[in-house]
Amino acid sequence: MSQTTTSSSTPAWTATILGYPRIGPDRETKKALEALWSGKADLASTEEQLAAVRAATVRRLNALGLPAHDASIPSSYSAYDQVLDAAVAVGAVPERFADLVGQDGTVDLVGYSTIARGRGAQAPLEMTKWFDTNYHYLVPEIGPDTDFRFADDRGVREFAEALADGFLTRPVVVGPVTFLLLAKAADGSSEGFAPISRLDDLLGAYEDLLAAYAAAGAEWVQLDEPGLVSDSATAGVEGLADLVRGAYDRLTALAGRPRLLVATPYGDASGYLASFGEVEGLALDLVKGALPADRSVLAGKTVVGGVVDGHNIWRGDLVQALATLRQLEGSAAHVVAGTSTSLLHVPHDVSRETQLDERLRGWLAFADQKVAEVVLLGKALGDAASVEAELAASAAGRADRLTAPGVVRPEVRDRLAALTPEAFGRSDYAVRRAAQDEALHLPALPTTTIGSFPQTTEIRRARAAWTRGDLDQAGYEEFLRTEIDRVVQLQEELGLDVVVHGEPERNDMVQYFAEQLDGFAVTQHGWVQSYGSRGVRPPILWGDVTRPAPITVPWSTYTASRTTKPVKGMLTGPVTILAWSFVRDDQPLGDTANQVALALRDEVADLEAAGIGIVQVDEPALRELLPLKTADQAAYLDWSVASFRLATAGAGDATQIHTHLCYSEFGEVIDAIDGLDADVTSIEAARSRMEVLGDIARAGFARGIGPGVYDIHSPRVPSTEEVVSLLRSAVGSVPARQLWVNPDCGLKTRGYAETTESLRHLVEAARTVRAELPTGAPVAN
Ligand code: MET
Ligand SMILES: [Zn+2]
């Protein structure tokens, strides 16, 4: 179509955001969905509640300064996940859920939820991490025969609903290339089949979708193509730039279509910008990515400069942001101030955090404050003088951080500066191994768990009562000790070799530590979507980190007093604490990680001094923070591995350091895992039937390893025979003296009935396979 920005009937926008939180300020979406799932609400009333969240969102965005009629307000709602939305829209519902699709191709909220959550033995779509965030999307299953067509018009109806309400919004849809790059080959596809090979077939569905939006009155549609910034998503795709080019040539050739804004959040996609051809708009991530070296790709286009970080919770440097936007002005037809990513990753509104220190609150920008920032920048683009006072106020808010007490603690800085390489290393593994064998006297194939035991209703109730003040500190601690007694006794009865305390005191493995360390703050309403209806409330790491008092030592020593077996202390590692918090942006992550590491190092020393001979430092997020660009990965692994070593290397030879990682792609980060230098590493392995053992054997990994023998993500109880067979295959590929026997992960989401039975089978199986080992074989450490 020949329409251009300047001849448009719509006024040109000056500011926008790429997307807004969908959960609702009081988690209305979650509550509505859960009521539907539990049968407490019907479909119609649930739809009404979700519509109310959407209506409140457009009003809010409008009140914050995004105009009602220029398409700058995104229509970015999703009841569960935007990738699932796209799958349903283009008819990519797996065969096993075909009965959920109506005659007309649409899927109602009940069917939609079922695809997301599974039904009986029918597994839901797999879930995996969305770029370098803590959001998880559902992975489309695409096969050679997936019948793409524009099937479900939910997104179009949502756009129309806002329009009827007086708001011309900009629908946001996952772009076709990214949709396929993020998909996996459906079961039964031939070897080597890649979903991206179906791009041409998929485009027909997108053409119809775009036509439907145009017919409903949409002037702009945003297509999100972040797949192009990720090396792992694009790996192995031949000629991707040409594929992108072909796809966008086809979409832009469509008659009567809305204008297209292609967004590439989460990084740098400059290599692909030319391939978007005639699209009218590009939205660039100028926080993670950079201005394209060749500005000619921007000529004639509306360019949304993503200068406000959609991914953190700090006030932006607006003066710098404005300067970046100004650099675009000569190259683009029209420059719009924007966020780097959707605001999906940040909580709604700082002003509700009335319990937060007021000074800290002044440094923060949640979603609503970030909208105000882009609006302000948009105004500044037109007339900087008119907003001079506001820009100055914003700069003052940032500057205040530099001098506030606690942001820089000289004693922390001095301690870090004085570290020598010795602080990062332990004795040779052989020396440690001998000292630990001597100290611990464990049998071959020692059995243990990953740390948490089921978080029962009673535990959650007691914690809630204590938080409310209905249960006093002494009463709560007494309750926790009784809980530990129970868990210890159960482990003794089951015959587990290394005992844990069960983590009843932890609401969350990161938040708990954040609450005990200085330099962190926790919010009241700062929920962000983790996946579907699940939210997390990440702590804010704002200052230099110190440990005012021992954290886990009382629980571990109490546990040791209740058993004669070795007790394993349980800490969360520095990388995971950073990954699951909002982290200060005024110094390198590695420096912050080392501060957390020092606090943990002191905790390890105190545990050791209290006689705890085994300490596990969990790092489930080690791979999660891995940069999207291969070129950046080595530097990341350097600092992340170093911080783990700093946390643990103070331990004496006889103290056994464990770590735990929650995934089975051991091969991808094997050097890093080796670099952690832990004495024992437990890892998820059951679902892949111990495939990981191949990687371990090939890499010649020589220290202790506990490949999970059962999947804790479902209540299914593995039989003893099943665990025996896994262990036999383990013993077949890795020397028995290295092997440990444990579940895939912590048990906190499980119930006691299945946990007890599963662990019983685990112990039985370990005994069986232990008896099969050649006598005289050296035992595990
Ligand atoms: C996500 S990893 C969890 C490790 C923790 N120690 C637990 O058992 O729950
Ligand atoms: Zn885990």
Rounded distance from Cα 745 to ligand 2 centre (Å) = 4
Q: Let me know: does 262 contact 218? Beta carbons within 8 Å.
A: no
Residues 542, 712: Cα–Cα separation, whole Å: 34
CA triple 300-302-304, angle to 5 deg: 140
The confidence score (pLDDT) of residue 11 equals 62
Asked if residue 748 has its Cβ within 6 Å of ligand 1, the reply is: yes
The confidence score (pLDDT) of residue 510 equals 97
Q: Sorting pLDDT into bands at 50, 70 and 90, what band is 664?
A: low
Q: Whose CA is nearest to atom 7 of ligand 1?
A: 746
**211 three-state secondary structure:** helix
CA 584 from centroid of its chain's CA atoms: 18
> Is residue 211 packed enough to be buried (19+ CB in 10 Å), middle (13-18) or exposed (0-12)?
middle
The confidence score (pLDDT) of residue 4 equals 39
Token digits of residue 547: 């440990």
Q: Sorting pLDDT into bands at 50, 70 and 90, what band is 3?
A: very low
What's the whole-number mean pLDDT along residues 629-647?
A: 96
Token digits of residue 190: 């031939």
pLDDT at 2 over 50: no
Q: Let me know: does 546 contact 571? Beta carbons within 8 Å.
A: no
Rounded distance from Cα 129 to ligand 2 centre (Å) = 15
Q: Sorting pLDDT into bands at 50, 70 and 90, what band is 5?
A: very low
Q: Which residues on neighbouring strands pair with residue 707, listed in sequence order?
A: 683
The 3-state secondary structure of 49-68 reads HHHHHHHHHHHHHHHCCCCC
Asked if residue 662 has its Cβ within 6 Å of ligand 1, the reply is: yes
Q: Let me know: does 73 contact 61? Beta carbons within 8 Å.
A: yes
Taking CA atoms, 437 is separated from 139, 491, 632, 683, in Å, by 45, 22, 39, 22
Q: Sorting pLDDT into bands at 50, 70 and 90, what band is 305?
A: very high
Residues 567, 226: Cα–Cα separation, whole Å: 46
What is the ipTM metric for this complex? 0.99
Amino acid at 419: L
Whether the CA torsion 223, 227, 228, 234 is positive or negative: it is: negative
Asked if residue 745 has its Cβ within 6 Å of ligand 1, the reply is: yes
Would you list which residues are annotated within the binding site?
Answer: 30, 134, 450-452, 503, 580, 618, 660, 662, 684, 745
- DSSP calls for 282-341: EEEETTTS---S-GGGGTTSEEEEEEE-SSS-BPP-HHHHHHHHHHHHTTSSEEEEEESS
Residues 497, 449: Cα–Cα separation, whole Å: 10
Q: Whose CA is nearest to atom 1 of ligand 1?
A: 620
For 511-545, what is each residue's pLDDT tens digit? 999 999 999 999 999 999 999 999 999 999 999 99
**540 three-state secondary structure:** strand
- DSSP calls for 20-40: --SS-TT-HHHHHHHHHHTTS
Q: Whose CA is nearest to atom 6 of ligand 1?
A: 451
Residues 701, 697: Cα–Cα separation, whole Å: 6
For 132-179, what is each residue's pLDDT tens digit? 898 999 999 999 999 999 999 999 999 999 999 999 999 999 999 999
- Which ligand 1 atom is nearest residue 450's CA? 8
Residues 412, 397: Cα–Cα separation, whole Å: 24
CA triple 758-760-764, angle to 5 deg: 120
Asked if residue 570 has its Cβ within 6 Å of ligand 1, the reply is: yes
The confidence score (pLDDT) of residue 354 equals 96
Rounded distance from Cα 772 to ligand 1 centre (Å) = 31
Asked if residue 378 has its Cβ within 6 Å of ligand 1, the reply is: no
CB half-sphere exposure, 771, CA atoms < 13 A:
6
Taking CA atoms, 587 is separated from 307, 394, 544, in Å, by 19, 20, 11
DSSP state of 274: G
Asked if residue 550 has its Cβ within 6 Å of ligand 1, the reply is: no
Q: What domains does the chain contain, in order, with CATH numbers?
A: 28-403 (3.20.20.210), 426-772 (3.20.20.210)
Residues 728, 732: Cα–Cα separation, whole Å: 6
The confidence score (pLDDT) of residue 171 equals 98
Rounded distance from Cα 42 to ligand 2 centre (Å) = 36
- DSSP calls for 593-658: HHHHHHHHHHHHHHHHHTT--EEEEE-TTTTTT--SSHHHHHHHHHHHHHHHHHHHTTS-TTSEEE
Q: Let me know: does 181 contact 225? Beta carbons within 8 Å.
A: no
List phi, psi (to 5°) of 658: -105, 155
pLDDT at 777 over 90: no
What's the whole-number mean pLDDT along residues 724-742?
A: 96
Residue tagged 């109506």 (tokens): 102
Closest CA to 496 of 436, 447, 544, 533: 447
CA 715 from centroid of its chain's CA atoms: 24
pLDDT at 311 over 80: yes
Which mutation among 449, 452, 499 tests ligand 1's pocket best, with the greatest number of atoms within 8 A of CB? 452
Q: Whose CA is nearest to atom 8 of ligand 1?
A: 746
The confidence score (pLDDT) of residue 116 equals 95
658 in active site? no
- Which residue in the list 345, 441, 525, 713 is annotated as catalytic? 713
pLDDT at 758 over 80: yes
The radius of gyration of the chain's CA atoms, rounded to the nearest angstrom, is: 27
Amino acid at 177: V
- Which ligand 1 atom is nearest residue 449's CA? 8
Would you list which residues are annotated within the binding site for 5-methyltetrahydropteroyltri-L-glutamate?
Answer: 30, 134, 580
For 557-586, what is each residue's pLDDT tens digit? 999 999 999 999 999 999 999 999 999 999
List phi, psi (to 5°) of 712: -95, 0
- Enumerate helices (H) and strands (E) in the chain, giving the number of each: 26, 21
Residues 677, 681: Cα–Cα separation, whole Å: 9
pLDDT at 8 over 50: no
Which mutation among 459, 619, 660 tests ligand 1's pocket best, with the greatest number of atoms within 8 A of CB? 660
DSSP state of 121: T
Residue 372: which region, alpha, beta or left (left: phi > 0; alpha: psi -120 to 50)? alpha
Amino acid at 486: R
Q: Whose CA is nearest to atom 3 of ligand 1?
A: 746
The confidence score (pLDDT) of residue 7 equals 41
DSSP state of 408: B
> Is residue 520 packed enough to be buried (19+ CB in 10 Å), middle (13-18) or exposed (0-12)?
buried
Q: What percent of the chain has pLDDT over 70?
A: 98
Closest CA to 668 of 727, 731, 702, 626: 626
Closest CA to 230 of 181, 279, 173, 284: 181
The confidence score (pLDDT) of residue 779 equals 54
Least confidently predicted of 62-71, 329-338, 686-695: 686-695
Rounded distance from Cα 454 to ligand 1 centre (Å) = 11
What's the whole-number mean pLDDT along residues 360-379?
A: 97
Residue tagged 């800490």 (tokens): 571
Residues 507, 381: Cα–Cα separation, whole Å: 46
Rounded distance from Cα 130 to ligand 2 centre (Å) = 19
Token digits of residue 616: 């596990």
Asked if residue 573 has its Cβ within 6 Å of ligand 1, the reply is: no
Residues 714, 534: Cα–Cα separation, whole Å: 17
CB atoms within 10 A of CB 723: 24
Question: Average model confidence (pLDDT) for the chain?
Answer: 95
Asked if residue 509 has its Cβ within 6 Å of ligand 1, the reply is: yes
Rounded distance from Cα 659 to ligand 2 centre (Å) = 10
Q: Let me know: does 572 contact 513? Beta carbons within 8 Å.
A: yes
Would you list which residues are annotated within the binding site for Zn(2+)?
Answer: 660, 662, 684, 745
Asked if residue 618 has its Cβ within 6 Å of ligand 1, the reply is: yes
- 157-163: long-range contacts, CB 8 A cutoff, minimum separation 24: 158/54, 158/75, 158/77, 159/75, 159/213, 159/216, 159/217, 159/218, 160/216, 160/217, 161/51, 161/54, 161/55, 162/54, 162/55, 162/58, 162/73, 162/75, 163/216, 163/217
What pTM was estimated for this model as a whole? 0.93
Q: Sorting pLDDT into bands at 50, 70 and 90, what band is 776?
A: low
Asked if residue 433 has its Cβ within 6 Å of ligand 1, the reply is: no
- DSSP calls for 182-235: T-EEPTTPPTT--GGGGHHHHHHHHHHHHHHHHHHT-SEEEEE-GGGG-HHHHT
- Which ligand 1 atom is nearest residue 616's CA? 6
Q: Let me know: does 261 contact 223? Beta carbons within 8 Å.
A: yes
Token digits of residue 578: 């950073």
Closest CA to 745 of 655, 644, 677, 663: 663
Token digits of residue 565: 């077996």
Q: Sorting pLDDT into bands at 50, 70 and 90, what band is 745?
A: very high
For 667-725, what is each residue's pLDDT tens digit? 778 889 999 999 999 999 887 778 888 888 888 899 999 999 998 988 889 999 999 99
Residue tagged 């594929």 (tokens): 243
What's the whole-number mean pLDDT along residues 462-484?
A: 97
